[in-house]
Structure 1
Amino acid sequence: MRATGVGSHPGEDQQALDEAVRVVLGELGEEPGLPYLPEVPGRGATATMTGRGLAVLEGLDADLQPAGWRLTGSSGSPGVDHRRTRSLLAQDLDTLEERAQAFTGTFKVQVCGPWTLAATVERPRGDKLLADHGARRELAQALAEGVRAHVADVRRRLSSLERLVVQVDEPALAAVVSGSVPTASGFGRHRTVDLPEASQGLEWVLGAIESSGAEPWVHACAPGTPWGLVRGAGARGLSVDLGVLAAADHDVLAEALEAGESVVLGVVPGTRPATEAGDAQVTERVLRWLDMLGLDPEELPGLVVSPTCGLAGADAAYARAALALVRTSAANVQAG
């Protein structure tokens, strides 16, 4: 039984990133914690989930337009914004390396998934990559290659790690497979991506993570995420918001846990609620869920608790409190 966070933290500058690394290592650096590289998207477009995903791409260039990120092709000469997002990721990894070089346990990093990138990044000719079958295929393959290099870089920096998890963030996957992503005009919707293609795009990225010696997880907090498809594509960890799951999703999670895989239950709000729950209430919620499925917490080493989504919309004090709450709750569940 472990505790972790989804990834994002509040703040608007590099000092906020430094503080977030310190908080994560302080709250989750010892059992039952699972620390991670924080993301601080408030620093601007180069630090958002999309920007961080583009920083990892191999062989494709991008630039920043008034409407957002746009691919510019494969010239091998990235524009200034693309260089900045790569530089910022390297700078964040430098900070992590300085603070966590001696860490020896399990560590997590996050990367934007291929379908969320396809739903948020534009083609050179305009509109989302999602509109172009060939472009979205090329994007997924470029991300898979880039992830290999990213895993190698993290392992080089944190050479004492026992286990590295790479969480692929796919908040837009549900919209992609349901045909709910709006077109550039806002008046239409992109066509549904069929399930075999959606699975293949994920398979390339998740397979690249696993073949690089890391463990592939997928996070999504949107209702309607096809968790059976995600698990079938090779995810060895499923990170969910417990409050938005459909009835069939619970069976998929139970099967994953019984197979020795990881399930991350989002049970603490990502922003400060009107009435804050204590660790006893969070613990009880996890135990009730396990009881509903007939699962024994003592036999589920892959169970993890976390906030429901990222903490970027919270204040710094609540972000710290949320991590402390999931850590204490995990210890309570583990203790029985």
Structure 2
Amino acid sequence: MSEQLNYPWPPASATGVGSFPGTDPDEAMRIIAGELPDLVHLPELPARGPGADMIGRSAALLVEFPVEAQPSGWRVAQRPGRDLRRATSYLSYDLDVLEEHAGDYTGPLKIQLAGPWTLAAGIELRSGEKLLADAGAVADLCASLTEAIGSHIARVRALVPGARPLVQLDEPFLPAVLRGTVPTASGYATLRAVEPVTVEERLRTVFAAIADTAAIPAVHCCAPAVPVDLLRRSGARVLGVDATALRQDSDEAIGEAVEEGVGLFLGTVASTDTHLSEPATNVGPIRELWHRLGFDPELLARAVVVTPTCGLAHASPGYARAALAACVAGARVLHEEPRL
């Protein structure tokens, strides 16, 4: 039972999903290190343009798998070019900023990468079709990503020696991959659904590569129909989902994950500029989920980390900072008032 397991974060923790508004990594990292002292994360600033986006940022790490930016998105290239150099430069600068603001940090440190299936659905073959359409290309991509992850974790550890890396694979396209709703290049049809056993096999390989480095394998999917069972079986030890969008038919799968000691990152604070409610109201969806699951209220603030919902990069910088503070306040409410 999860009551006997140790989660890698302290009770009443909060963190961000990953993306953050603005174009100044130094300011973003300063805010995150200040507002989220128990579970710092390396922010992504997509407003900087191609190479700072989710796909381009992760592609910058791939081994012998060059890509380039096209008007339609990222595409496999013959050799590394300026687009990949720009993405690599963005990431290198961000890591320098991480060392500057969190070099003495001790505790769990979250870094985000696009997962293999989101990369496969987001990168085009040289023909223009999605890489997802070619099983051999998907295998090559997964092998490249698996090798890249080990090097990336080692680099983060060198910069922040006291950190225990938590590697979050972002898989927003995963439900579409499983349903067969990823559009073809023409947009007039969709690509065939990938069998769950294949999806699970590829994910298990990547999660195992993370675990082999003694880092914590995590996954985030903000779609309502999150394939929780599949992700748990694949080896994810943390599941990040949007608590405000979860369907109740996911409750049983989430309960089984918690039983196995899997931690939950639950998005509940609005990620776009709005009036922030009182902390107890902000975490209402989390309380409701926990009540439906029927677990000991004392476990809630240990197993669950409070986050914003997806899309914080589209907020104003001031609101983003307030949203992180609201997550921290909400997590404290869950800890201080465990009886639901």
TM range (shorter): over 0.9
2:117 partner letter:
W
Contact preservation (8 Å) 1:7, 1:310: no
Aligned residues: 325
C-alpha contact 2:41 2:111 (8 A) present in aligned 1: yes
Residue 71 of structure 2: which of 57, 66, 86 is its match?
A: 66
Alpha carbons 1:5, 1:310 under 8 Å: kept: no
Structure 2 counterpart of 1:39, one-letter code: E
For 2:227 and 2:261, the matched residues in 1 are separated by 20
1:285 corresponding residue in structure 2: 285
SS in 2 for 1:168: strand
Superposed displacement of residue 115, structure 1: 0.6
Answer whether contact 2:120 2:132 (CA < 8 A) is retained.
yes
**100-109 or 222-231, which deviates more:** 222-231
Matched, 1:4 2:15: yes
Q: Cα offset for 1:328?
A: 0.7
Q: CA deviation at 1:66?
A: 2.0
Q: Please give the alpha-carbon distance, in whole angstroms, between the structure 2 residues aligned to 1:209 and 1:27.
A: 27
Q: 1:23 to 1:297 in 2, by over 3 A?
A: farther
1:25 equivalenced with 2:33 (yes/no): yes
CA contact (8 A) 2:243 2:285 kept: no
- 2:248 is matched with 247
1:276 corresponding residue in structure 2? 276
Q: Does 1:79 align with 2:84?
A: no
1:107-186 alignment runs, 5 A limit: 107-161=109-163, 163-186=164-187
Q: Could you tell me how far apart the structure 1 residues matched to 2:262 and 2:165 are? A: 14
Contact 1:174 1:223 in 2 (8 A): no
Identity of aligned residues (%): 45
Q: Give me the whole-angstrom Cα distance separating, in 2, the residues matched to 1:174 and 1:96.
A: 32
Secondary structure of the residue aligned to 2:306 is strand
* Runs of 5+ unmatched residues, structure 1: none
TM-superposed CA distance for 1:106, in Å, is 1.3
Instruction: Could you list the structure 1 runs, at least 4 aligned residues long, displaced by more than 6 angstroms after superposition.
Output: none
The residue identity in structure 2 corresponding to 1:44 is: G
Task: Return the letter of the residue paired with 1:20.
Answer: A
1:330 aligns with 2:338: no
Q: What is the CA–CA distance in structure 2 between the aligned matches of 1:199 and 1:283, rounded to whole Å?
A: 31
Q: Cα gap change, 1:246/1:287 in structure 2, threshold over 3 Å: closer, same or farther?
A: closer
Match of 1:231 in 2: 232
Structure 2 Cα separation of the partners of residues 284 and 205 of structure 1:
34
The Cα offsets for residues 105-133 of structure 1, whole Å up to 9 and x where unpaired, read as 11100000111111110112221101111
Partner in structure 1 of residue 200 of structure 2: 199
TM-score by length of 2: 0.92
User: What residue identity is the alignment partner of 1:53?
Assistant: S
Q: With the length of structure 1 as denominator, give the TM-score of the two structures.
A: 0.93
